[in-house]
Chains A and B, each alone.
Chain A
Amino acid sequence: MARFLVTRTLQALATIFVVVTVAFLLGRLSGSPAALLLTENATREQIDELNTRLGFDQPLPVQYVEYLRGILGGDFGDSYRQAGVSSMDLVLERLPASLSLGAIGLALGLVLAFAATITTHLARSRTLRTTFLGLGSARQAIPDFFFGLLLVLVFSVTLGWLPSLGNRDPLAIVMPALTIATAQFVVYTRLLDNSLSEQGRLDYARTAVARGENRFRVVVGELLPNASLPVLTIAAINLGSFLGGLVIVENVFAWPGMGQLMLSAVYSRDFPVVQSGLIVVAALFILSNLLVDAASALIDPRVRRA
């Protein structure tokens, strides 16, 4: 267990280090930000003064070491666009909005997928399976931004039931969360369906039937814990594309999250904000993977031992 923790911590640190390095290189790739930050007719002195202040007059390795030292001291660099404001503060300010939307969207997607799949298997119904997978695939074939706009068109513009922008109204989360949930739905429905069918053919399933368990007990009590394991693993792998989707959904619904912030930071070349955003995303990644591992260990005693 101690060894496990040490390995995982080292892995996490290595990942963060790689991300920090890539973020740094991205930020330097386009050269001095003077052209961005100063007016077109800035004098040579003004440009030199800015470069000195931001450290751009130093050789790249020195800049890199400075950046790392700053991070260790909790200084992730100030935003280019909002002078004097820490880029990390800007990102962290947006974190709760992203987390709540992402978590609710994903949780809703998982709940729908589990409910649909369990119903299919309890009823042993091919029709239900085809229906759920068909609906899910049809939804997935529509790009998120287009589906989001469709929702806005129906529920905000036509019916006027739901607010279309921002996150002030408590109901505002409904449409962005639905967009995320329905996009995730088919992924997990297909996974869990396959996984449950596979488990159902194993000997222990037959043992359960042979001792007189009813269908619900067999599916939910015996097969489901085993069938959820691969789903969890894939969920961790799928996190990247999920976060990508989150950025788009935040922008469609003007949801004031990190995705929206980072996209606008990219447009305005506010590299410190982009860098800090990447670091936070990487940290989230590591954290979710840890959570998935913990959940797997909780379900599967064989993982616990390893």
Chain B
Amino acid sequence: MTTPVLLRVDDLSVGYRDADGAEVRLVDGVGFTVHEGRVLCLVGESGSGKSLTMAAVLGLLPEGLEVLSGTVRFRGQDLLTLPERELRALRGNELAMVFQDPMTALNPVKRVGAQIARAVRAHHPRTPRAQVLARVEELLTEVGVPDPAERARSYPHQWSGGMRQRAVIAMAMANRPALLIADEPTTALDVTIQAQIMDVLADARATSGAAMVLITHDLGLVAQVADEICIMYAGRIVERGTVWTVFDEARHPYTAGLLGSLLSAERAGSRAYAIPGSPPAPTRRPPGCAFATRCELPARSELCGTTRPELRPAADVTHESACHHADRTLEFARAVTA
């Protein structure tokens, strides 16, 4: 059962030119597809390029960084070449975003309700005031904020982190987006609040039918919500597939390592697997596989140090891996997750 393609990213590279004019690729040739109403998870350690990938999709790259290659098609339209005006009409409307840190995502000097109201007004400037107020209240109710009329008139510093994230979600849902991008929406929150926020997101998606790209490094969360999953490492996608094929049959040693550390963490008593070392800096990536220095796959070979593995079908066309020895990973995966 597949739905039409909503977002299709191909060969997306993001980075900058260093003092010598050489490209530094923080995101390097990333591609994936999001279908209408489905959930795609971008997973990887911090610094792997997840946020920059999605910032590039929305045209929100920080100053100094640029798109170095690729296309981003939303309903067939290339967002990277779209005039700013038309891109603006999509942002916050069909394409909405929820950010990682709710403590800083809201303007400290403006009332929360007014900020949500702006999301409505930005796209429907002539909506009568009373109607906007009613809509803000309705949105706050949907995300589970008690006393919405009252709370709307207060300022962000009067809200807790969890409540602020609800407000940010309300803002994102204001115009019933077709695609919601959520960048680690629970990472900055208390563990007890995290599940609540995920429920709010699930409810919001259920009412709007929005597709979602969820950025996270929490594989437990992925298991609960994802349809598709992309594992990112050092700016590239190293494994891609439906969530259960990837979880059941990891075709990349990095994915296996991530699963290993997740499962052993859940099962107290068993010895925890931890991927050794840390990822290479974007300016110092090795010529071959970027994971080579940390890879513990018994089958790894000389090829790993010399040739960069490209993403290609591993088991079948829907399950891809960027490992020279993708056919030898299952045993390793079983060993580290045992």
* With A201-B62, A204-B107, A299-B109: A211-B157 Cβ-Cβ less than 8 Å: no
- Closest-by-CB residue of A relative to B123 is A212
**B60 part of interface (Cβ distance < 8 Å):** yes
* With A204-B105, A211-B96, A212-B88: A302-B157 Cβ-Cβ less than 8 Å: yes
How long is the Cα–Cα vector from A210 to B119 in the complex, in angstroms? Answer: 9
Are A209 and B174 within 8 A (Cβ)? no
How long is the Cα–Cα vector from A299 to B115 in the complex, in angstroms? Answer: 15
Which residues does chain A contribute within 8 Å of B155, judged by CB atoms? 301-302
The interface size of chain A toward B, counting residues with CB under 8 Å, comes to: 23
**A40 part of interface (Cβ distance < 8 Å):** no
- Closest-by-CB residue of A relative to B154 is A301
How long is the Cα–Cα vector from A254 to B141 in the complex, in angstroms? Answer: 66
Q: Which of B62, B109, B157, B171 contacts A207 (CB 8 A)?
A: B171
Are A204 and B104 within 8 A (Cβ)? yes
Min C-beta distance of B54 to chain A, whole Å = 10
Which residues does chain A contribute within 8 Å of B92, judged by CB atoms? 210-213
Which residues does chain A contribute within 8 Å of B93, judged by CB atoms? 212
- Closest-by-CB residue of B relative to A205 is B107
**A214 part of interface (Cβ distance < 8 Å):** yes
**A208 part of interface (Cβ distance < 8 Å):** yes
Q: Which of B60, B97, B109, B168 contacts A225 (CB 8 A)?
A: B109
Render A212-230 as a binary contact track against B, CB cut-off 8 A, 1 for contact. Answer: 1110010001100110000
**A206 part of interface (Cβ distance < 8 Å):** yes
**B106 part of interface (Cβ distance < 8 Å):** yes
- Closest-by-CB residue of B relative to A203 is B104
Q: Which of B91, B101, B108 contacts A211 (CB 8 A)?
A: B91
Min C-beta distance of A203 to chain B, whole Å = 4
Q: Which of A206, A214, A226, A305 contacts B109 (CB 8 A)?
A: A226
How long is the Cα–Cα vector from A201 to B108 in the complex, in angstroms? Answer: 14
Render A185-210 as a binary contact track against B, CB cut-off 8 A, 1 for contact. Answer: 00000000000000001111011111
Are B108 and A204 within 8 A (Cβ)? yes
Min C-beta distance of A22 to chain B, whole Å = 39
Are A210 and B58 within 8 A (Cβ)? yes
Min C-beta distance of A33 to chain B, whole Å = 54
How long is the Cα–Cα vector from A109 to B107 in the complex, in angstroms? Answer: 28
Render B168-191 as a binary contact track against A, CB cut-off 8 A, 1 for contact. Answer: 100110100000000000000000
Which residues does chain B contribute within 8 Å of A203, judged by CB atoms? 99, 101, 104-105
**B89 part of interface (Cβ distance < 8 Å):** yes
Which residues does chain A contribute within 8 Å of B338, judged by CB atoms? none
Which residues does chain A contribute within 8 Å of B118, judged by CB atoms? 208, 211, 213, 217, 221
Are A210 and B60 within 8 A (Cβ)? yes
Are A204 and B106 within 8 A (Cβ)? yes
- Closest-by-CB residue of A relative to B89 is A212
- Closest-by-CB residue of A relative to B90 is A212
Min C-beta distance of A179 to chain B, whole Å = 34
Min C-beta distance of B172 to chain A, whole Å = 8
Are B109 and A300 within 8 A (Cβ)? yes
How long is the Cα–Cα vector from A305 to B154 in the complex, in angstroms? Answer: 12
How long is the Cα–Cα vector from A302 to B104 in the complex, in angstroms? Answer: 14
Which residues does chain B contribute within 8 Å of A211, judged by CB atoms? 91-92, 96, 118-119, 122, 171-172, 174
Which residues does chain B contribute within 8 Å of A201, judged by CB atoms? 62-63
Which residues does chain A contribute within 8 Å of B106, judged by CB atoms? 204, 207
Which residues does chain B contribute within 8 Å of A212, judged by CB atoms? 88-93, 119, 122-123
Q: Which of B99, B109, B115, B123 contacts A301 (CB 8 A)?
A: B109
- Closest-by-CB residue of A relative to B97 is A210
* With A212-B88, A212-B93, A302-B157: A207-B108 Cβ-Cβ less than 8 Å: no
Are A214 and B108 within 8 A (Cβ)? no
How long is the Cα–Cα vector from A245 to B60 in the complex, in angstroms? Answer: 45
How long is the Cα–Cα vector from A224 to B21 in the complex, in angstroms? Answer: 35
Which residues does chain B contribute within 8 Å of A213, judged by CB atoms? 88, 92, 118, 122
Top 5 closest pairs, chain A to chain B, by CB: A211-B92, A212-B92, A203-B104, A301-B155, A212-B122
**B interface with A by C-beta (< 8 Å):** 58, 60, 62-63, 88-93, 96-97, 99, 101, 104-110, 115, 118-119, 122-123, 155, 157, 168, 171-172, 174
Name 16 interchain pairs, CB-CB below 8 A, sorted by A. Answer: A206-B60, A207-B107, A207-B168, A208-B107, A208-B118, A210-B99, A211-B96, A211-B171, A212-B89, A212-B93, A212-B119, A217-B118, A225-B109, A226-B107, A226-B108, A301-B108
Q: A212-B123, A217-B118, A302-B157 are in contact. List 9 more A-B contacts (CB 8 A).
A: A204-B108, A206-B60, A207-B107, A210-B58, A211-B91, A211-B174, A212-B88, A222-B107, A300-B108
